[in-house]
Amino acid sequence: MALPKNGLAWPPAELAQITPKLAEYGAWYSNATSTLADIYGAGKTRKGVLERIRTWFLGAKPNGQPDKATIHVSLAQEICRTAANLLFAEPSTATVEEGEKDAQARLNIIAGPAFEQTIVAAAEISAALGGVYLRAGWDSTVKDHAFVTKVDADAAWPTFAWGVLTGVTFWRVVKTENNTVWRHLEHHTVEEDIGVVYHGLYQGTKDNLGRLVPLIDQTATKELADEVDAEGRISTNTAGLAVAYAPNITPSALWRSDPIGSNLGRSDLEGVEQKLDALDELYSTWLRDIRLGKGRLIVGASMLQDLGAGLGAGFDLDQTIFTPVKAAPSSASDAKMAIEKVQFDIRTDDFMKAIDHFRRIILTAAGYSPMTFGMSDGAGSSGAITATEVAARSALSFTTRRRKILGLKPALEQILTKTLAIDAIMFPQGGAKTLPVSVAFPDGVQDDPEAVARQNSLDAASLSASIETRVRRANPSLDDVEVGLEVARIREDNQLPPLTDPETVGAGGVGVPGF
């Protein structure tokens, strides 16, 4: 039986060092301030040097109640979202060997818009949790082809051998009733070189897996009962694991000594938790400064209105007509009653400088250039800048992007190869074959269109570049056929003569037409 035994503590003891930290990263990513307050609560015992350095702002609750002036900034979520944008601002391309037109057409469907949306979401989650699982699947009632889904790292119990994923158990809570929790477990492994999946439904408690019960006991799993064999198994009928793990960035300094954690990736939020907490404190203090800076009037007791028995007295700041009251003048020369205005200064510039400084520290520690997040780089230039200048000023961000691709590219190739093989078996009419898939990422830097047009104009005037070269520069995403068609259209629109054989150009008085 590949599924866990009954009565197992949950989450598994092997994840004891990992699960709490993933919950912390997940809270920062999802802006769950109540969860963060519980994690960093002053009454809890925290281990480690970082926790002893300072009191966590988000964990402090004066008099047991949250501070009404507290404000949370979603910089952690912004970091993760930008990480995904850097990777997939331009879509990656998946191809099989040349000449396999039917298989390529099928792969284009599998790796179409739905897949692109999946991997963008996976990249964002991976930035938060340090990695993500990509899973091959099929369901003829939903799609007429195999497809790829993602599973978050905080819902997985993996096994590795020499750094290679050899099996993983995914779990999800399908129902909670009082103290009873039903979990659906999905275990992926390889048996005799064939990828298989075991499904099981467990009835337990919050911290115990409980016992295995029939899949038909819950609505969320009853349809699986008709798909699995007596042991709860489904075969993929193809070689290899139906799951690939894509680490965010390796290694993780936090888990380098953990048997499982040493194979996982590093979150973009690793090491910046306290800085994010300090940024919240800065914004909250600024908000408190603004509230204290509101104008206040101090008036004499004789100007207060009686609010009734037991309700005290008050002064209506919005009242426009006042009933005269008997009161001694403030001085012999002034018959008016004394009203003192109090207006505190708001230290806006000081707070903005401090916040800017902390944001830069956080972004740099997370592996990104502040310019990537719209912050000034201090270069003082204005107007459009070239791709070279963008890359130079965002060098740290693009270095981080390249490191992420090192973990993501092999995982994408592995899971797409597996998915294409499954598609060939489960949907034979589609034309798929068991072929290796290659994934390519663009460089991520786009030239300013105005700069490209200016360079093409100079090249055309100086006869230093062909039409094809200029078309490829202006449209880097076009393939060879599309470039050829665009060149032909340009020549036709400009009534240029036919192309001359390059071997005869310049011979016998032949010129160089068509530039």
Residue spans of alpha helices (H) in 130-171:
none
Using one digit for the tens of pLDDT, what is the confidence trace for 256-300?
999 999 999 999 999 999 999 999 999 888 888 777 766 666 666
- Break the chain down into helix, strand, coil percent, rounded to 5: 40, 20, 40
CB burial readout 112-122, b (16+ within 10 A) else e = eeebeebbbeb
Q: CA-CA distances (angstroms) from residue 468 to 238, 386, 460, 464, 501?
A: 44, 22, 11, 12, 15
Q: CA-CA distances (angstroms) from residue 380 to 115, 231, 358, 377?
A: 41, 67, 21, 8
- Number of CB atoms found within 10 A of residue 482's CB: 12
Relative orientation angle of helices 395-426 and 101-110, to the nearest 10 degrees: 110
Our CA angle for 207, 134, 270, nearest 5°, is: 65
Give the containing element (helix H, strand E) for 273: helix 273-292
Relative orientation angle of helices 467-474 and 449-461, to the nearest 10 degrees: 170
What local confidence, expressed as pLDDT, does residue 480 receive?
80
Encode the chain (515 residues) as per-residue pLDDT tens digits. 589 999 999 999 999 999 999 999 999 999 998 899 888 885 454 454 444 445 677 776 554 444 556 789 999 999 999 999 999 988 899 999 988 999 999 999 999 999 999 999 999 999 999 999 999 999 999 999 999 999 999 999 999 999 999 999 999 999 999 999 999 999 999 999 999 999 999 999 999 999 999 999 999 999 999 999 999 999 999 999 999 999 999 999 999 999 999 999 999 999 999 999 999 999 888 888 777 766 666 666 666 666 767 666 665 655 544 455 555 555 544 445 566 666 667 788 888 999 999 999 999 999 999 988 888 765 555 555 555 555 566 788 989 999 999 999 999 999 999 999 999 999 999 999 999 999 999 876 555 576 678 888 888 888 888 888 888 878 876 778 888 888 888 888 887 776 655 554 444 444 444 44
User: How far is the C-alpha of 255 from the C-alpha of 59, rounded, in Å?
Assistant: 25
Are 424 and 434 spatial neighbours (Cβ–Cβ below 8 Å)? yes
Residue spans of alpha helices (H) in 348-394:
348-366, 387-393
DSSP codes joined into one string, 456-504 = HHHHHHTT-S-HHHHHHHH-TT--HHHHHHHHHHHHHHTTPPPPPPGGG
CB burial readout 244-260, b (16+ within 10 A) else e = bbbbbbbebebbeebeb
User: How far is the C-alpha of 136 from the C-alpha of 188, rounded, in Å?
Assistant: 11
User: β-pairing, 208-213 with 194-205?
Assistant: antiparallel
Q: Which of these, 455, 446, 452, lies nearest to 474 by C-alpha position?
A: 452
Domain range annotation of the chain: 449-509
Are 131 and 247 spatial neighbours (Cβ–Cβ below 8 Å)? yes
What local confidence, expressed as pLDDT, does residue 49 receive?
43
What local confidence, expressed as pLDDT, does residue 329 receive?
53
What local confidence, expressed as pLDDT, does residue 257 receive?
92
Are 423 and 110 spatial neighbours (Cβ–Cβ below 8 Å)? yes
Q: Which residues pair with 156 in a beta bridge?
A: 170
User: How far is the C-alpha of 480 from the C-alpha of 472, rounded, in Å?
Assistant: 9
| Burial of 155 (C-beta count, 10 Å sphere; 0-12/13-18/19+) | middle
Q: Is the pTM of this model over 0.85?
A: no
Using one digit for the tens of pLDDT, what is the confidence trace for 164-175?
999 999 999 999
What is the 3-class SS of 394-462, one letter each residue? Answer: CHHHHHHHHHHHHHHHHHHHHHHHHHHHHHHHHCHHHCCCCCCCEEECCCCCCCCHHHHHHHHHHHHHC
Give the containing element (helix H, strand E) for 289: helix 273-292
DSSP codes joined into one string, 15-26 = GTTTHHHHHHHH
What local confidence, expressed as pLDDT, does residue 45 receive?
45
